[in-house]
Structure 1
Amino acid sequence: MRGVTPPALPGPPRPGTPRRAVTQEDVAREVGVSRTLVSFAFRGAPGVSNETREAIFDAAQRLGYRQNAVAADLARKRPSAVGLYLLDLRNEVYADVFHGVREAFEDAPNRLILSVSPTANSLGRAAVDSLIEARVGIVVAATLLDADADVQELAQTVPVVNVARRVHGVDSVYSDDPAGAEAAVRHLIELGHTRIAHLTGPPHEGHQGRRRSYERTMSDVGLPPRVVTAQDYTQEAAERAVVPLLAGGERPTAIFAHNDELAVGAREAAYGLGLAVPDDLSLIGYDNSRISRLHGIDLTSVDLHALELGRSAGRTALERLANPLAPAVDLKSSPRLVVRGSTAAPPEVRKDRP
C-alpha cells in the first residue's frame, strides 16, 4: 500500500449543491486497495490482514463513509438486523422489555430496528410488515394480539420470538399468567374479600390466561366471577369501564386488573367517586411496572419480570439467527405477587375485628 499515490477525491461541493455520499470506491482509492477488499473488510470476511483492515477503517472514518447495512445484508445473503415490535409505548412494561432486549444485543453486531403499534388494541401485522420491508432477519414481538394461526403464518415469512405470549410451534418467552392471576385472587380471598371483580380489555387469542384463571379460582371457592371489559388496555378506558361498576349496587370490594395500566385507571375512577384505596376498594394490577412502585400509588401487582423476559427473548433471537433449523423455544418463567399498600381486608371484615 505504501508508495501508491491514490487519485485525488472530488473536492467539496459548491454551495447549494447536495454533498455526494462517500462510497467504498472512495475508501478503496484512499487506501490504495481494491473495492472488493474494502467490502471484505466491512463484512468481516477472511483474506484481509489486520493492518489493511485498520487502514480501511481509519480511511472510512476520515472520509465520513457510512456502511449501508441493508446492502451489507444482501451481500451476506442473510439479514442480520433484528426487528423489535412493541404493542404500546405508553405501558411501561414494554419499556422494560425493550431495555432487556437491548441488553441482550449489547455485544452483538446486529442492528435493532423498532416498530410500535399505533394503538394499545391494534393487531400487529401492519407494524411487523414494516420491519419485514426493512429486511430484518427476525422479529422479537412484544406483544402480538393476532390469532395464533396468523402468528404461525407470519413465522413462515420471518422468524418470530413471542414475548409474554405462547404460540405453539413458534419461539415463545413468557410468564405463567394463570399462576400469577391465581396468586392475586387468592391473596384477596385470604384478606376476606368475596366480591372480587376482574377488569380486562378486549379478548384476544393467547391473552385470556389471566381472565380464565380468575374465573376458575373464584369458582373453586364458590364465589361468583364478575368480569368488566374495557374498550382497550389504557387507563382512560379502564376509568370509563369501572365508574358504572363502582357507582352501582353491590359494588365489589376488590378489583384484580389485567395490567397495571388498567388498575391505575380503576384507582382514578374510585377516587372520583369518593372511594379510598384500600379502605373502600382493594386493587391488584399485573406487570409490576414502574408506575406500580410510585409513592402514592403503591400498587400490589404481579411481577412478570419484564426486563428478564426481554433479555431471554433477545438471547433466543440470537440463537435462532445462528441456528435457523433448531426446534422452537418454549421458555416459561414464574411470576411473583408483590404486595404493597393497595390491598387490605374489606370494610366488613375490619368491623368484626376487635
Structure 2
Amino acid sequence: MAVTIRDVAREAGVSISTVSRALAVPEQVAEATRVLVQATAARMGYRPNRNARSLITGRNGSIGLVVPDLENPFFGSVCKGVQARARAAGYTVFVADTDEDPTAEAEIVRSLIKQVDGVILCSPRTTDAEVRQLSSETPTVLANRFLEGIDSIIFDNGGGLDVVMQHLVALGHRRIAYAGGPLKSWSNGQRAGAFVAFGESHPDLDLIELGNFPPYFSGGVQVADLAVASGATAVVAFNDIMALGIIDRLRQRGLSAPDDMSVTGFDNVAVSTYVRPNLTTVDMPRVQMGRMSVDALLDSVLGRGQASGPRLQQLAAELMVRQSSGVPHASAKAPTDATELLDADV
C-alpha cells in the first residue's frame, strides 16, 4: 500500500498540514521541523501528489528552459546544470529548442507559461522589447544575455576575448581576424565589441572582422577561405564548433593549424580536446551557469531575496591554451586581392 501524507505525519509526530507545508512550501516551516518531515518522507518512500501540491501552492513544480539549438554542446551543458539543480529542488524541467529562430521564442515561452512556474531564456535571439514583454508575463531569468531589470547570468565575454587576443599577440601575431556568430546573438555583440576595442588600444595591430556566420561547423568552413584570403595569421572564432570547421577546411586546402594559421574558439566544449590539433579556446563554465539560473529563478518564484531587485551575476572566462595556436609561420603570406574585396564588404 502506498504511503500517505497521514502516515508521514503520524511517524514524524506532526500535523498533516505541517507535513504539507514542509514538502510544498518549506520556507514557511521551521528548519528543524522541515528537516524532520523531509527525512521521514524520504525514509518512508512518500511521493507527494503534484496536483494536490499545485492546488496548495499555486505553483506547478516545473520550470521551462528555452535554448536556440540543442545540437550545440554549449547548450547541452547549460541544460545539464539546469536539470541537476532543478531536480535537487524538487522541480521538473521542460526543455524547448527554437532552432535559432527568434520568432519562435515568444511563441514557445507562451506555450509553456501555463505548465511552468517560470522560464530560463538561454541566449535568446529575440529583441529586448520582446524579452521584456515575456518577463512581464512569467518569472524570467536570462542566461548568457543581460537586460536591465531582469535577473541575468552572463559570462565575461569581453574579458574572454581580451585574454585570447593577448595570447595571440604574445605569440607574435599582428594580423588577426575575428569570425562572428549570429548577428542577433548578445554574446557575439559583446565579443565583437571587445575585438574592436582591443584594436583601438593596440594601433600597431591589423585586426580584421570577417563578418557573421552560422554558429555551426559549416559556418567555420565558410570562414576558413575568407581568413586565408585576408592574410591573417590567426583567427578567433565565435565558438568551438566554428573553429573546428575552420581547421577542417584548412586541412582540405593543404594547410594546417597552427603552422599556417592559429585558430581559437570559445566555450571549451568536450570535443575541443578530442580533435587534433587540440583546440585553444576560452572556457565558459556552462554547467555552473545552468545551476545559477535555476537558483535565480526559484528565488523569484518563491519570493526569496527580492529586496535588492533583479541581479546581474557574471562568471569569469578562462583561456585554455592547447595545440591549435602557435607562433606565426615565417613564410606567412601577404593578403591577396581577395582581401580588398573582403574589407570593402566589412
2:120 aligned residue (137, 140, 149): 140
What is residue 181 of structure 1 aligned with on the other side? Answer: 161
1:113-262 superposed matches below 5 A: 113-119=94-100, 124-134=105-115, 136-204=116-184, 206-207=186-187, 208-222=189-203, 223-246=205-228, 248=229, 250-262=230-242
What is residue 262 of structure 2 aligned with on the other side? Answer: 282
Root mean square deviation, CA, Å: 3.4
State the one-letter code of the partner of 2:324. Answer: S
The 3-state SS of whatever aligns with 1:301 is strand
Shift of 1:121: 7.0
Aligned length: 308
Taking the aligned partners of 2:197 and 2:63, their CA distance within structure 1 comes to: 39
What is residue 287 of structure 2 aligned with on the other side? Answer: 307
Higher relative helix content: 2
| Percent of aligned positions that are identical | 25
Shift of 1:149: 2.3
2:315 aligned residue (300, 311, 333): 333
1:30-49 superposed matches below 5 A: 44=23
Shift of 1:341: 0.5
Contact residue 180 and residue 302 of structure 1 kept, 8 A: yes
Taking the aligned partners of 2:65 and 2:101, their CA distance within structure 1 comes to: 16
Taking the aligned partners of 1:231 and 1:180, their CA distance within structure 2 comes to: 20
Contact residue 100 and residue 125 of structure 2 kept, 8 A: no
2:300 aligned residue (320, 323, 341): 320
Taking the aligned partners of 1:239 and 1:91, their CA distance within structure 2 comes to: 16
What is residue 32 of structure 2 aligned with on the other side? Answer: none
Shift of 1:235: 1.0
The 3-state SS of whatever aligns with 2:154 is strand
The 3-state SS of whatever aligns with 1:105 is helix
Shift of 1:348: 2.2
Taking the aligned partners of 1:244 and 1:122, their CA distance within structure 2 comes to: 30
Structure 1 position 89 matched with structure 2 position 70: yes
Taking the aligned partners of 1:169 and 1:88, their CA distance within structure 2 comes to: 26
Taking the aligned partners of 1:244 and 1:166, their CA distance within structure 2 comes to: 31
TM-score by length of 2: 0.78
Contact residue 148 and residue 206 of structure 1 kept, 8 A: no
Taking the aligned partners of 2:225 and 2:102, their CA distance within structure 1 comes to: 21
Unaligned 5+ runs, structure 1: 1-26, 29-36
Structure 1 position 76 matched with structure 2 position 25: no
What is residue 4 of structure 1 aligned with on the other side? Answer: none
Taking the aligned partners of 1:147 and 1:90, their CA distance within structure 2 comes to: 23
Taking the aligned partners of 1:95 and 1:39, their CA distance within structure 2 comes to: 40
Contact residue 299 and residue 342 of structure 1 kept, 8 A: yes
Classify 1:212/1:153 alpha carbon distance in 2 versus 1 (closer, same or farther; 3 Å): same
Contact residue 224 and residue 247 of structure 2 kept, 8 A: no
Shift of 1:115: 1.1
Taking the aligned partners of 1:191 and 1:82, their CA distance within structure 2 comes to: 46
State the one-letter code of the partner of 2:155. Answer: S
State the one-letter code of the partner of 1:213. Answer: A
Shift of 1:77: 2.1
Shift of 1:113: 1.2
Q: Which has the larger radius of gyration?
A: 1
Contact residue 80 and residue 137 of structure 1 kept, 8 A: yes
What is residue 345 of structure 1 aligned with on the other side? Answer: 327
Classify 1:349/1:165 alpha carbon distance in 2 versus 1 (closer, same or farther; 3 Å): farther
Shift of 1:230: 4.1
Classify 1:194/1:70 alpha carbon distance in 2 versus 1 (closer, same or farther; 3 Å): farther
- Deviations 1:213-246 (Å, cap 9, x if unpaired)? 0111122111233112344211112212432432
Taking the aligned partners of 1:299 and 1:91, their CA distance within structure 2 comes to: 17
TM-score by length of 1: 0.76
Taking the aligned partners of 1:199 and 1:170, their CA distance within structure 2 comes to: 30
What is residue 10 of structure 1 aligned with on the other side? Answer: none
Shift of 1:349: 8.4
Moved more, 155-164 or 122-131: 122-131
The 3-state SS of whatever aligns with 1:347 is coil
Contact residue 121 and residue 232 of structure 1 kept, 8 A: no
Taking the aligned partners of 1:289 and 1:116, their CA distance within structure 2 comes to: 19
State the one-letter code of the partner of 1:173. Answer: I
Unaligned 5+ runs, structure 2: 6-14, 30-36, 333-346
Shift of 1:152: 1.6
- Deviations 1:298-330 (Å, cap 9, x if unpaired)? 101111111111111122222222216441021
State the one-letter code of the partner of 2:76. Answer: A
State the one-letter code of the partner of 2:139. Answer: P
Contact residue 198 and residue 228 of structure 1 kept, 8 A: yes
What is residue 11 of structure 2 aligned with on the other side? Answer: none
The 3-state SS of whatever aligns with 1:83 is strand
Shift of 1:119: 3.6
